C-alpha cells in the first residue's frame, strides 16, 4: 500500500470541497472495497477523507411517502429497517444476498453503489485493463481469456466488466434517485438509471459524479406494492458475486418491473421489457437482452436469465 494522508471532515459540503481541492483524494466510510484496492495498488489515493462523522447515517420518511436513505447507512441497518422490509422487500432481499454479514455491517449505501468491478483482469495488475489503465486494452477480450463471470450486454470493445452490486439491482426496480453535493455546495439529483455509465470508449468513467462530488443520500419513491423478490444465481451459496440475478416486482394484474444483475456494467432494466411481463419470461428476456454480445464462455447467461425469471414468475 502506498503512503497517503488522512483527515476527518464532518460537513458534507466541506468534504466535497476538500476532495476537489486535493488531486488524488478519495472519500472513505466503510472502506470494504477501497482498502482492498489500495492494498493491491489498483487504487492509489494520496489523501483519504473520512466522512463517517457527517451525520448521513439516517433513514427518514419523505413528504411524498417514500424513504430517504443516508449515504452512510450500513447495509445491515438498511436491510433490517422495518419500512424497507414491509414496503420495499426487494431491497432487503438484494442486500441480504450480497457479501457476508461482517461486510454488510460495515458497507455503506453510497459505497455499495460506487464499488468497482470484480473482473479478474481489473484485479490483476499484470494484465491489460482499460478501467485500471485507460488505453491499455482489455485482457478479457483476448483469445482464451476467462470471461464466464463477465458482461453480455451494455459492454463495448473496450470493456466487458460487470457491476457487482446486488443492492443497486433492487434499487433499479424501485426507481431510486441518488442525491449528491458538489464541491461548490450545490446539490444534485441523479436517477439511478443514469448514474452508472456504460463503458463505451471510456471504461474508467464509471458514473455520473463530477470530481469531488459526494453522494449524500438515495431516495425511494412511495411504495408500489406487489410481489417483490430477488434471486441471485452464483457459484457458491455465500460470498460470491452473481452470474445472473433477477429483481422482480409483480402486480396482481401481471404487470411489473424486472432488473438483471451480473450481465452488464450497470443494473439492467428497460421499459420495453417491463411491458412484456404479462407475456412471460421468454418475452421479457428477449427484449431485455436484445443486442447481447456474449462470449463463448458466458453465452449461457441468456438462458440462465430466462429460466431464473421463469422460476420466479411461477411462484405463487
139-187 pLDDT, tens digit per residue, is 999 999 999 999 999 999 999 999 999 999 999 999 999 999 999 999 9
- Per the CB < 8 A criterion, the answer to whether 147 and 140 are in contact is yes
Which pLDDT score is estimated for 154?
A: 98
Measured CA to CA, the distance from residue 266 to residue 252 in angstroms comes to 28
Q: How far is CA 289 from CA 38, 92, 108, 152, 305, in A?
A: 35, 26, 30, 8, 9
Measured CA to CA, the distance from residue 267 to residue 285 in angstroms comes to 14
- Per the CB < 8 A criterion, the answer to whether 111 and 127 are in contact is no
3-state secondary structure of 249: strand
Q: Tell me the mean pLDDT in the region 273-281.
A: 98
Measured CA to CA, the distance from residue 139 to residue 120 in angstroms comes to 9
Pairing verdict, β 47-50 and 5-8 = parallel
- Per the CB < 8 A criterion, the answer to whether 70 and 56 are in contact is yes
Q: What is the pLDDT of residues 54-112, one digit of tens each?
A: 999 999 999 999 999 999 999 999 999 999 999 999 999 999 999 899 999 999 999 99
Q: What is the pLDDT of residues 6-29, one digit of tens each?
A: 999 999 999 999 999 999 999 999
Count CB-CB contacts under 10 A for residue 34. Answer: 21
How many residues belong to the chain?
316
Which pLDDT score is estimated for 1?
A: 86
Q: DSSP strand E in 164-269: where?
A: 177-181, 187-191, 214-220, 227-233, 244-250, 256-261
Amino acid at each position: 500500500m502506498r503512503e497517503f494522508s488522512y483527515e476527518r471532515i464532518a460537513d458534507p459540503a466541506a468534504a466535497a470541497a476538500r476532495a476537489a481541492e486535493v488531486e488524488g483524494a478519495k472519500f472513505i466510510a466503510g472502506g470494504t472495497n477501497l482498502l482492498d484496492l489500495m492494498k493491491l495498488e489498483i487504487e492509489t489515493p494520496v489523501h483519504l477523507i473520512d466522512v463517517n462523522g457527517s451525520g448521513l447515517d439516517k433513514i427518514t420518511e419523505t413528504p411524498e411517502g417514500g424513504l430517504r436513505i443516508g449515504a452512510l447507512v450500513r447495509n445491515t441497518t438498511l436491510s433490517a429497517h422495518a419500512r424497507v422490509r414491509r414496503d420495499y422487500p426487494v431491497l432487503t432481499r438484494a442486500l441480504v444476498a450480497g457479501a457476508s454479514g461482517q461486510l454488510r455491517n460495515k458497507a455503506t449505501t453510497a459505497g455499495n453503489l460506487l464499488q468497482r468491478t470484480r473482473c479478474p483482469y481489473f484485479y490483476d495488475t499484470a494484465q491489460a485493463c482499460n478501467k485500471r489503465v485507460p488505453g491499455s486494452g482489455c485482457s478479457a477480450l483476448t483469445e482464451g481469456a476467462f470471461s464466464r463471470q463477465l458482461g453480455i450486454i451494455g459492454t463495448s470493445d473496450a470493456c466487458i466488466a460487470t457491476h457487482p452490486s446486488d443492492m443497486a439491482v433492487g434499487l433499479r426496480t424501485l426507481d431510486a434517485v441518488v442525491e449528491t453535493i458538489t464541491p461548490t455546495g450545490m446539490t444534485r439529483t441523479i436517477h439511478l438509471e443514469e448514474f452508472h455509465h456504460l463503458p463505451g470508449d471510456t471504461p474508467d468513467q464509471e458514473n455520473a459524479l463530477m470530481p469531488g462530488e459526494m453522494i449524500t443520500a438515495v431516495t425511494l419513491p412511495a411504495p408500489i406494492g406487489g410481489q417483490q423478490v430477488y434471486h441471485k444465481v452464483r457459484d457458491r451459496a455465500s460470498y460470491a458475486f452473481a452470474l445472473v440475478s433477477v429483481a422482480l416486482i409483480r402486480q396482481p394484474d401481471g404487470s411489473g418491473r424486472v432488473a438483471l444483475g451480473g450481465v452488464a456494467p450497470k443494473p439492467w432494466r428497460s421499459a420495453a421489457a417491463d411491458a412484456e411481463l404479462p407475456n412471460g419470461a421468454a418475452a421479457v428476456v428477449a427484449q431485455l437482452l436484445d443486442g447481447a454480445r456474449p462470449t463463448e464462455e458466458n453465452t449461457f447467461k441468456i438462458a440462465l436469465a430466462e429460466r431464473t425469471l421463469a422460476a420466479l414468475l411461477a411462484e405463487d
